[in-house]
């Protein structure tokens, strides 16, 4: 499986400009890299995130996003992990990731479950209530959004369900990029899986975002990383045989002591 991660500099609170750019970058990635999967960053339709007029700017029930990705994936014969968009859900607003197959079918919808309270995301958005696992070309995959990466019980739960590739879509600030680099490698190593990170770059509102998109193998080796913080595309081939090799040689899943773990305590 070849994956391309798109590092996008989105225009704050300008959905029309961002939809045009996202389509342009997906087309560019497919033409130049010939990937099986393309990935976008978090809240690429608005940036993170305009407090004023949020509801009116959001994608109505996600319809614009779903229409774009359904037609593009079918036309370009590529799987799309659509980062995330700000969208309405009735009278609520959600931070939502859509995943589409090569045939244009909607495979998964994931609403961000851990909302970033330091920037009041929890005051404006509705929390998600489910995990997201799906298959792309026969490979078991999952997606999480930005702040979710700080909760290892989330990714371990998904790994125990058989996930081999985790897509992390984020709008992570420049000031905390060392955290992101450490957390993504840790999640890949501890769960013995591939991890594909698509982070945003540029400035959104008052915050500067840090790029550093990367693709990591189950040993924690960085297969591809973004040089600098500009808008660009990275790609890597994911050899699924690596997963079998590492899990046979260091079988952390069979050596777990689940009877000792209680992650539900407050």
Which residues are marked as active site? 42, 112, 146
Two tokens at 145? 């959004």
Two tokens at 106? 């909607």
Dihedral sign (CA 87, 88, 92, 97):
negative
Q: Give the orientation angle of helix 152-160 with respect to helix 177-191, to 10 degrees.
A: 30
3-state secondary structure 6-35: EECCCCCCCHHHHHHHHHHHHHHHHHHHCC
Q: Which residues pair with 64 in a beta bridge?
A: none
Distance CA 175, CA 156 (A): 27
Per-position DSSP letters for 180-192, written without gaps between them: HHHHHHHHHHHHT
Burial of 61 (0-12, 13-18, 19+ CB in 10 A): middle
Phi, psi at 234, each rounded to 5°: -120, 155
């Amino acid at each position: 499986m070849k994956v391309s991660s798109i590092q996008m500099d989105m225009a704050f609170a300008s959905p029309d400009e961002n939809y045009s750019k996202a389509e342009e970058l997906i087309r560019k990635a497919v033409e130049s890299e010939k990937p099986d999967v393309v990935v976008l960053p978090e809240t690429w339709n608005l940036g993170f995130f305009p407090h004023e007029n949020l509801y009116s700017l959001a994608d109505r029930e996600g319809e614009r996003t779903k229409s774009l990705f359904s037609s593009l994936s079918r036309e370009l014969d590529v799987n799309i992990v659509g980062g995330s968009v700000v969208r309405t859900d009735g009278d609520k607003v959600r931070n939502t990731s859509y995943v589409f197959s090569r045939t244009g079918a909607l495979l998964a919808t994931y609403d961000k479950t851990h909302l970033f309270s330091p920037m009041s995301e929890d005051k404006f958005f509705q929390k998600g209530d489910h995990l997201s696992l799906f298959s792309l070309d026969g490979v078991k995959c999952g997606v999480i959004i930005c702040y979710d990466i700080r909760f290892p019980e989330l990714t371990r739960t998904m790994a125990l369900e058989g996930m081999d590739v985790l897509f992390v879509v984020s709008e992570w600030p420049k000031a905390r990029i060392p955290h992101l680099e450490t957390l993504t490698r840790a999640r890949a190593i501890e769960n013995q899986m591939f991890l594909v990170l698509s982070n945003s770059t540029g400035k959104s509102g008052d915050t500067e975002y840090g790029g550093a998109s990367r693709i990591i193998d189950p040993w924690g080796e960085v297969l591809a990383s973004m040089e600098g913080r500009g808008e660009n595309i990275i790609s890597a081939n994911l050899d699924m045989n690596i997963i079998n090799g590492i899990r046979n040689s260091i079988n952390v899943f069979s050596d777990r002591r689940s009877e000792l773990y209680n992650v539900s305590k407050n």
